[in-house]
Amino acid sequence: LELGRRLARNKKLGELARMVGRFKQDARALKRKTLERGVAEAYDIELGSELGRLIPAELLAMHHPVLKRDFHRRVLEGTVLQYRLRDDEQKGKGPMVVCIDVSSSMQGDKEMWSKAVALTLMDIARRQRRLFRAVMFSSGEVSLKVLDLNRERRYAPDLNKVVEMAEYFPGGGTDFETPIDAAVELLGEKKLKRGDIVIITDGESQVSPEWLARLRERKDELDFSIFAVLVDVGSAETSSLAQFADRITSVKRISDEHARDIFLHVQS
């Protein structure tokens, strides 16, 4: 009941819900396109009726003057021998962590856009059966808020924590080292590899050479990637993010279209 009351009286959550609805449609459409052109490996044989996955013996039966009638029957029954495929998603991916800048300069449309992107990424993580952590940051550990949003068995989101994430906005300056460390901590808990860290910010923050060296060691150990989104500011090439991010997208205008590149990145 308390959650319902908070949802009813919070205009920010209503606007976020509308934005997430649009973003989820785009993300799922992109996922379908990604699967269409994705690369998969054959790792077993199964019964089915997909002609593009037939094993060589069935291809011979399809053209054999005596066996082709039996082949056609088995296609209709779904009992021909075909390769079982395993794409990247089926192989499994590590956790997804989104670091959201909640410093003073992000207040307004940038905050709403970044949180809507984060909640859409949470939906992607749920469908991919991946742990999802949101790291809200501004300057230093005092303002840091770490929320594990889908620790349950079926990767369903914790709505109380979703509301907490949506409402949290401390303001202040910008610090990159603390939130990235909190993101890497989740990946290292059980040596979970192939994770994705997304950081969304409009600010700059210097990082120390010692911190960069430690981060590179952890990346080699855990095999994760860092995708940075630089919102409405400067050039991606001159950003301090370029020192540690594998890829940077510079968003000059807040829109649905600029969110698609992020969704495509984490689903590919």
Average pLDDT for 191-219: 90
The domain locations on the chain are 40-89, 92-267
- Judge whether 177 and 207 are in contact, CB under 8 Å: yes
Residues 45-75 as b/e (b if ≥16 CB within 10 A, e otherwise) read eeebeeeebbeeebeebeeeeeeeeebeebb
Give 64-120 pLDDT, tens digit per residue.
888 989 999 888 888 889 887 655 444 447 889 999 999 999 998 889 889 988 988
Split at pLDDT 50, 70, 90, the class of 214 is very high
What three-state secondary structure class fits 198?
Answer: strand
Q: Kindly indicate the confidence band of residue 148, based on its pLDDT and cuts at 50, 70 and 90.
A: very high
pLDDT of residue 198: 92
User: pLDDT band for position 254 (50/70/90)?
Assistant: low
Any idea which of 126-130, 168-172, 248-252 has the lowest mean pLDDT?
248-252
Residue keyed to tokens 């940038």: 110
Q: Which residues pair with 199 in a beta bridge?
A: 99, 228
Taking CA atoms, 200 is separated from 128, 154, 161, 187, in Å, by 21, 27, 19, 19
What is this structure's pTM? 0.71
What pLDDT was estimated at residue 258?
63
* pLDDT score for 2: 62
What spatial distance separates the first Cα and last Cα of the chain, rounded to whole Å? 39
Q: Which of 34-43, 103-112, 155-164 has the weakest average pLDDT? A: 34-43
Give the bridge partners for 82, in sequence order.
Answer: 46, 54
Half-sphere exposure of 247 (CA within 13 A, CB side): 12
Percent of the chain exceeding pLDDT 70 equals 76
Judge whether residue 233 has pLDDT over 60: no
Cα separation, 207 vs 226, in Å, equals 15
- The answer to whether residues 204 and 227 touch, using CB atoms and an 8 Å cutoff, is no
CB 107 within 8 A of CB 171: yes
Angstrom distance (rounded) from CA 53 to CA 70: 18
Q: What is the domain class of 92-267 according to CATH?
A: alpha beta
Phi, psi of 191 (to 5 degrees): 55, 45
> Is 236 a residue whose pLDDT tops 60?
no
C-alpha triplet 8, 13, 14: angle, nearest 5°: 70
Instruction: Report the amino acid identity of residue 106.
Output: M
Q: What is the mean pLDDT of the chain?
A: 81
Per-residue pLDDT at 176 exceeds 90: yes
Give me the amino acid identity at 66: V
Q: How far is CA 173 from the centre of its chain?
A: 26
- Which range has the worst mean pLDDT, 37-41, 117-121, 178-182? 37-41
pLDDT score at 37: 44
How many whole angstroms separate alpha carbon 104 and alpha carbon 172?
Answer: 5
Quick count: other Cβ atoms within 10 Å of Cβ 218?
16
pLDDT value at position 240? Answer: 86
pLDDT over threshold 80, residue 159: yes
